[in-house]
């Protein structure tokens, strides 16, 4: 098993026989590239895209 393969399973959950993503996907990079959640923002580690949380 390659490095990082087990970590990817933390981003998905099985519901009713289907997979559901638990994190946001990056709108620039597309599906499969997840954004990191920080206290006040979401950010993509691949392209640097950032969305600030409201409220």
Tell me the whole-structure pTM to 2 decimals: 0.71
Number of domains in the chain: 1
pLDDT tens digits, residue range 43-53?
Answer: 999 999 999 99
Q: Give the Å distances, CA to CA, from 10 to 18, 31, 53.
A: 15, 16, 23
Residue 44 lies in a domain: yes
pLDDT tens digits, residue range 14-42?
Answer: 999 999 999 999 999 998 899 999 999 99
Q: What pLDDT score does 37 carry?
A: 93
> 33 lies in which domain range?
24-55
Residue 10 lies in a domain: no
User: Do the Cβ atoms of 26 and 49 come closer than 8 Å?
Assistant: yes
Residue 10 CA from chain centroid, whole number: 10
Q: Which residues pair with 35 in a beta bridge?
A: 44
Residue 4 lies in a domain: no
Nearest to 37 by CA among 15, 11, 6: 11
Residue 43 lies in a domain: yes
Which secondary-structure segment (H or E) carries 14?
A: strand 12-15
Residue 49 lies in a domain: yes
């Amino acid at each position: 098993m390659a490095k990082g393969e087990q970590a990817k399973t933390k981003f998905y959950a099985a519901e009713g026989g289907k997979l559901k993503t638990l994190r946001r996907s990056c709108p620039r990079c597309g599906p499969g590239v997840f954004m990191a959640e920080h206290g006040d923002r979401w950010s993509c580690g691949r392209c640097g895209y950032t969305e600030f949380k409201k409220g």
